[in-house]
Amino acid sequence: MDFLKDANQLIKRFEDTIQQPVTVKKGAKLYTGVDLGTAFIVLAVVDEKGQPVTGAMRYAEVVKDGLVVDYVGASRIVKELKAEVEEKLGMELETAAAAYPPGTVGGDRKAIQYVAEGAGFDVIALIDEPTAANQVLGIVNGAVVDIGGGTTGVAILKEGEVVYIADEPTGGTHFSLVVAGAYGIPFEEAEKLKTNPVRQKELFPVLKPVMEKVASIVGRHIQKFHVDNLFLAGGTSCFPGIETIMQKETGIPTWKPDNPFLVTPMGIALSAQRRGG
């Protein structure tokens, strides 16, 4: 759809810069998004104009259902990714934003900020994940559905303003558990299997009930609002056909960008840039 054209172009530029970082002038102001996911930790870096500079990611099991369960491990990985990016750029990263699932409150939300601060960042923004995703998607009216590894977050927007946010602990981890049970394989093997493009068509009927559950959760949260379109983000949204199930179950036209996985980390970085710019 045309309204995802800009988002797709931005994410494609981000993808390209991960492999080939943009050369930046010494002393340039850079902003980092720190995305602590259930399966991956991702850093995204943008310049003062909000253009992608580079990024880095690593598989990690330090977050469960949106909560940091291994603070030391999370801080260590973020610190190592920060050093990796700094080496690529030849300059230090200082300013960042971090994001949390909408249902996260109090100390659990602060823990996410402390992980980034522990890695050496000055955290100038802390934002919920679906709202961060919309920094990339640019939705004025509709609902952003961020389906991550541990949680599914929903943000409803009216005239560009978030009027409702919610979050429930269902996501990619549950997909992997179903695959592991159906095939009698370890969880780690199921994680890899579900992301194998060659096997995803075979896995679709196995995972369809979980997709329907996610869609029913979304439907329950949006039923009190008039929502014309749903927009998917988050790594679990990458699974082929999930948008079809979402649309069928909710009855609402559903769209997803070319690479939903990188939408939220880029949006977190843009949140820092817009707060600090």
pLDDT at 62: 81
Contact (CB, 8 A) for 175 and 23 = no
Classify residue 2 by its DSSP letter.
Answer: G
Please provide the DSSP assignment of 5-56 as one string.
Answer: HHHHHHHHHHHHHHHSPPP--TT--EEEEEEE-SSEEEEEEEETTS-EEEEE
As a residue count, the chain comes to 277
Go through the domains of the chain in sequence order and give each one's CATH number.
2-128+261-276 (3.30.420.40), 134-258 (3.30.420.40)
- At 149, is the pLDDT very low, low, confident or very high (cuts 50, 70, 90)? confident
- Say yes or no to pLDDT of 259 above 80: yes
Mean pLDDT, range 217-236, rounded to an integer:
94
Residue 56 CA to its chain's centroid (Å):
14
CB atoms within 10 A of CB 84: 14
**Phi and psi torsions of 38, nearest 5°:** -65, -35
pLDDT at 124: 96
Q: DSSP E strands: which ranges in the chain? A: 30-36, 40-47, 52-59, 63-64, 67-68, 95-100, 122-128, 142-147, 152-158, 161-168, 230-233, 254-255
- 106-121 burial by CB neighbour count: b if 16+ within 10 A, else e? eeebebbbbbbbebbb
pTM: 0.92
pLDDT at 258: 95
What is the rounded CA–CA span in Å between residue 128 and residue 132? 6
pLDDT at 215: 96
C-alpha count within 13 angstroms, C-beta hemisphere, residue 197: 1
- 20-40 burial by CB neighbour count: b if 16+ within 10 A, else e? ebeebeeeeebbbbbbbbbbb
- Say yes or no to pLDDT of 17 above 70: yes
- At 1, is the pLDDT very low, low, confident or very high (cuts 50, 70, 90)? low
Mean pLDDT, range 245-261, rounded to an integer:
96
Lowest-pLDDT range of 58-72, 147-161, 183-197, 241-255: 58-72
Over residues 77-126, the pLDDT tens digits come to 999 999 999 999 999 999 999 998 887 777 788 888 999 999 999 999 99
Cβ partners under 8 Å of residue 207, min gap 6: 175, 178, 179, 194, 239
- At 169, is the pLDDT very low, low, confident or very high (cuts 50, 70, 90)? confident
- Say yes or no to pLDDT of 227 above 60: yes
Adjacent-strand bridge partners of 31: 46, 95
